[in-house]
Amino acid sequence: RMELDLRIGAAFTRFQTMRLQKMFPNNLSDKLISYGSCQFPTMGFVVERYKAIENFTSEPFWKLKVTHEVDGCKVDFTWKRVRLFHQMAVEVYKDICMENTMARVEECKSKPKNKWRPLPLDTVELEKLASRKLRLSAKTTMTIAEKLYTQGLISYPRTETNIFPKEMNLTSLVEAQTGDNQWGAFAGRILGEWNGPHPRAGKKSDQAHPPIHPIKHTSGLQGDEAKVYEFIVRHFLACVSQDAVGKETTVNIDIAGEKFVGHGLTVLQRNYLEVYVYDRWSDKEIIDYEQIREFEPTSIDIVDGSTEAPKLLTEADLIALMDKHGIGTDATHAEHIETVKSREYVFIEDRDK
């Protein structure tokens, strides 16, 4: 496979470079037009998304929205038909609702809802999350991670494993972080209140290296190195703690035969969210509809909009596609992306697209 990649890559690179330099001497006379079995599909994902955006035709749509407000608590109900592409039809449905505006509560149910703590960190997830949360390229992230590894601060950063071995001593790793001013108290809760670390388990193991985790504590880093180290520590502490716990309420109503649904959320225990500042989960207040059988809506409105084209791929999206389709390995994703960027086959917009 290595020899085949080398021979094909060398032959096509030479052919493309010589051919295209003759065709476009003003633009490409000093450019290398390379070909690689991983470069090509990597660029293909970007081109495919770009063409989808170019060929997209936006369509207008209309939908109904019901609002109910009591004592400053406002609840929005969405239409179960979601949206229609014919304005007149939506206006007819609104007229039907306006003839008999009384809303009848068909069902109000509450159920526990958890927001899961993150899985242990493998290389692909580190690259994706650093791109989304820290706005760092995969190449920059891996360069920093390798430096932190050589300094003895984190474990080996190139791994496909997202499950900690049962025999691994995670307690000592958590204890090493208890003295930190930012997350030390949370590490103490893991050891005390929650009776030690209980990692969430993934399903992947390369049988060679454990998930990425901090080895020892430090507070002497600066800039992007500090950001990457902090992310790895917070991710590790989050994955060995407890899921966030909440209560979700769903209310189904009927207005003149049209169905609408409203949702509310109460966060009861933030747990891992206290240390994992990269996730958001907040209360969405809702009226107690268990005691209400009928009510008069505050408003019934038509909301218009239009379908939107897919967005340009972010580097995190591109890494996910490469991983899904088996392009490269966790150790080479960043290099392939950096290659197509440095050769100016693709360009970055808005820092990450």
> Catalytic residue numbers?
156
**3-class state of residue 67 by DSSP:** strand
Strand extents, DSSP E, 73-171? 73-79, 103-115
Query: In whole angstroms, how far apart are CA 150 and each of 77, 130, 224, 291?
Result: 54, 20, 16, 62
Q: Residue holding tokens 């032959």?
A: 11
Neighbours of 214 (CB within 10 A): 22
The closest alpha carbon to 239, from 267, 205, 266, 201, belongs to 201
Candidates 230, 264, 21, 266; CA nearest to 144 is 230
Burial of 296 (0-12, 13-18, 19+ CB in 10 A): exposed
Q: From its phi and psi, is residue 350 left (phi > 0), alpha (psi between -120 and 50) or beta?
A: left
DSSP 154: B
What is the 3-state secondary structure of 255-306? ECCEEEEEEEEEEEECHHHHCCCCCCCCCECCCCHHHCCEECCCEEEEEEEE
Report the alpha-carbon angle 237-243-246, nearest 5.
Answer: 140
Helix (H) or strand (E) holding 251: strand 244-255
